[in-house]
A and B are shown apart, each in its own frame.
Chain A
Amino acid sequence: MTLTGWLGPEEWQAVALSLKVATWATLASLPPGILVAYALARWRFPGRHVLNGLVHLPLILPPVVTGYLLLLTFGRQGPVGALLDPIGITFAFRWTGAALAAAIMAFPLLVRAIRLSIEAVDPKLEEAAATLGASRLRVFVTITLPLILPGLLAGAILAFAKAMGEFGATITFVSNIPGQTQTLPTAIYAFLQVPGGEASAIRLVVISVAIAMLALVLSEVFAQRLARRLRQ
């Protein structure tokens, strides 16, 4: 029995949308995630603590609050949303909005994992590379990045899993429209609200658990690889 056969069309739609949302959320937040993690790990600048607080805010705030703030900012009438809408970028009540909400919620996990692995890289190695003629960018690409790669992948997997499971901010920001913004968790919630929806909900729960377990195992494997790699 194939996965599509086992799942009803609406369930399958939710799984596929969740995968799409989580993939985009993870990929799009990697570049800024690396930058912010690097800045927090290596640079001393005014406002460093403020930046650190901002990054961690979604972890502490009730997700509904984050979702509502996103709606205020990125909604069509919001200051950023109003700017982006004319050039064809709309977040509110679209899957892109779900990806944005997921990215924001997963960002602290991503930054934390990358930052820890950057802090584990001896800056003396980067200095040595500089004395050999490498520019800062080259040092990052040839020394720092390869050394943090396992940590980066572990962080990305955690962020992906978090993005798959995001509920509160997503439902507040982009609602729960089947085929549009209905992700795994919001679909489970919706199925539980209608009589006879338990079977669908259970199937989605099984998939959620499987994805979460897989993510944890993978992230553990990569973290161990990082430890081995940094052990000189």
Chain B
Amino acid sequence: MTLDVSLTQTLGAFTLDVAFTAPAGVTVLFGPSGSGKSSVIQAVAGLSRPDKGHVKLDGEVLMDSASGRWLPPRARRLGTIFQDARLFPHMSVARNLAYGTRFAPRDAVALPRDRVIDMLGIGDLLERRPHSLSGGEKQRVAIGRALLAAPRMLLADEPLAALDEARKAEILPYFERLRDELDIPILYVSHAAAEVARLATTVVVLEQGRVRRVGPAAEVLGDPEITPMGSGAAGAMLEARVVTHHPDGLSELDADGLRLLLPRVARDPGATLRIHVEAQDVMLARRRPEDISALNVLPVTVRSIRMGDGPGALVQLDAGGNLLLARITRRSVAAMGLAEGQEIFAVLKAVSVARDGVG
């Protein structure tokens, strides 16, 4: 299932002019606030009318300024999850969940209610009223409500932005489950690098109403060109497989031939997961360092060096086909005499696992 978006919209002094294609999986619209991410979601959902452009889902035209076709939100069947959960305050959780079900077409393939409730862990909340729920609980109910309307696609407009860190950590795994367990494409708006790294299959980078970059998550996040967007995003995102657990509490992972040691990962050997290596956690060395505490020292090739405006520089590295990013100083670049194509070593100070599982 593919979403094809092309929009032009003038909102006061701000012009939105974007075009991208969202394939299956999670497509994250990423960019700083004010970059037009939410305007895109609004237009796709049918909550605003762009001046020009089209939105097509698997070839079906949801809107097209050329032909004048414009489907109202109710006819689009795109499950929308908002930043503020927007639960109906006069209905219990159970009635909120059931709300969209009755409007779904008969032939729509809806997920079984029990499965959704189970997946989101909201079975104990059904009789409660929205005002008695925590922010995280509200958002889980909102996700369930959107899913039970048998949507063809999910739209999530910064669903974690209004939550504190603890609640964010509570909700993020549920989106990972949606991505991994359901066959519903998700268009997800975020300005938080951590969410992008953990969720994205495809990343669309927006800046001042324009698309700066579209591509597979690993490629876009490992691209030094996009790092000014949100420096925290810089880093590598790798798919890794658990090889074995060592008796000293470390787990050995394999990412396309790259062997990594991590503190024990709570997954069985053979399981695949996402790991994130942030650019500031990568040190570089000309010779293989010895007698150091870091466990992961990898031979890498310098692919590109990008000098920042300040004292920093970003170095893109190729580690056996995987892309890594290192944030070092310009002074170090000069002192080490780094150049493209050079073979050096990367020392990973920290490797984080996109925390998996809900239970």
Contact = CB atoms under 8 A, between A and B. Distances in A.
A131 B88 contact: no
Contacts of B90: 146-147, 229
Given A131-B74, A138-B103, A229-B89, 17 more contacts: A125-B86, A129-B88, A130-B73, A131-B76, A131-B78, A131-B79, A131-B146, A132-B99, A132-B103, A133-B74, A133-B103, A134-B103, A147-B89, A229-B90, A231-B89, A232-B87, A232-B131
A50 B191 CA distance: 45
A130 B100 CA distance: 9
A131 B47 contact: yes
A130 B145 CA distance: 13
Interface in A97-147: 122, 124-125, 127-135, 138, 142-143, 146-147
B104 interface: yes
For chain B, the bracket of interface size reads: 20 to 34
A230 interface: yes
Contacts of A146: 90
A129 B99 contact: yes
Contacts of B76: 131
B149 A133 contact: yes
A41 B130 CA distance: 26
Contacts of B99: 129, 132, 134, 142
Interface string B92-109: 000000011001100000
A131 B130 contact: no
Contacts of B103: 132-134, 138
B80 interface: yes
Contacts of A132: 74, 79, 99-100, 103, 145-146, 149
Contact of A232 (B47, B77, B89, B149): B89
Nearest to A131: B80
A124 B131 contact: no
B74 A135 contact: yes
Interface of B: 45-47, 72-74, 76-80, 82, 84, 86-90, 99-100, 103-104, 130-131, 145-146, 149
Contacts of B104: 133
Most buried by B among A122, A130, A143: A130
B73 A125 contact: no
17 contacts: A128-B86, A129-B88, A131-B76, A131-B78, A131-B146, A132-B79, A132-B99, A132-B146, A133-B74, A134-B100, A135-B74, A143-B88, A146-B90, A147-B90, A229-B90, A232-B130, A232-B131
Contacts of B73: 127, 130-131
A130 B75 CA distance: 9
Contacts of B86: 122, 124-125, 127-128
B80 A128 contact: yes
Nearest to B142: A128
B74 A125 contact: no
B77 A133 contact: yes
A232 B90 CA distance: 9
A128 B104 CA distance: 15
Contacts of B45: 131
Contacts of A230: 89
A96 B72 CA distance: 43
A122 B99 CA distance: 18
Most buried by B among A125, A131, A142, A146: A131
A142 B88 CA distance: 10
B130 A128 contact: no
A101 to B, nearest CB: 36
B82 A128 contact: yes
Contacts of B80: 128, 131
A80 to B, nearest CB: 37
